[in-house]
């Protein structure tokens, strides 16, 4: 599935949401199980926004200190949900998610580093303006 086609300005299109309301009651269970996986990541360590800002200095070459990508292959992560960021970093650490750069970088992160970075990038407020006509 091409996830790029599913987004409009960073927001998912309701028509492209992978669990439509008419898909039956089973999709609720899938969402509940998925949500519990994200929640279990965040309860391990409380993240520090100020600690994350210091640690984000090593991330700024690709993701920017402001969380806005400086390279075409690096995603914007500013304002992403904290539990998503923590899960993504932990998946890179465990080898469940692979990327040539992130797989190496994440190996060096502690659980507290992951929590701090997730807290910092999640705390960045992102605003969007529609294009001028």
Distance of CA 26 to CAs 30, 40, 90, Å?
7, 22, 28
Task: Judge contact between 69 and 123, C-beta under 8 A.
Answer: no
How do residues 84-130 score in pLDDT, each as one tens digit? 999 999 999 999 999 999 999 999 999 999 999 999 999 999 998 99
Give 12's strand partners.
7
Whether the pLDDT of residue 37 is over 90: the answer is no
Q: Is 12 helix (H, G, I), strand (E, B) or coil?
A: strand
**The whole model's pTM is what?**
0.65
Domains of the chain are 47-125 (1.10.760.10)
Whether the pLDDT of residue 18 is over 70: the answer is no
How do residues 41-72 score in pLDDT, each as one tens digit? 444 569 999 999 999 999 999 999 899 999 99
Task: Judge contact between 84 and 42, C-beta under 8 A.
Answer: no
Backbone angles phi, psi at 7, to 5 degrees: -110, 150
């Amino acid at each position: 599935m091409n996830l790029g086609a599913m987004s409009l300005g960073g927001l998912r299109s309701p028509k492209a949401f992978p669990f439509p309301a008419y898909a039956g009651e089973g999709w609720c269970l899938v969402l509940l199980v998925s949500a519990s996986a994200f929640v279990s990541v965040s309860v391990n360590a409380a993240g520090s926004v100020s600690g994350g800002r210091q640690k984000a200095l090593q991330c700024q070459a690709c993701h920017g200190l402001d969380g806005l990508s400086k390279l075409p292959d690096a995603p914007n992560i500013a304002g992403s949900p904290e539990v998503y960021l923590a899960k993504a970093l932990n998946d890179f650490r465990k080898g469940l998610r692979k990327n040539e750069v992130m797989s190496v970088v994440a190996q060096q992160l502690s659980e507290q580093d992951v929590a701090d970075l997730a807290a910092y990038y999640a705390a960045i407020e992102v605003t969007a303006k529609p294009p001028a006509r």
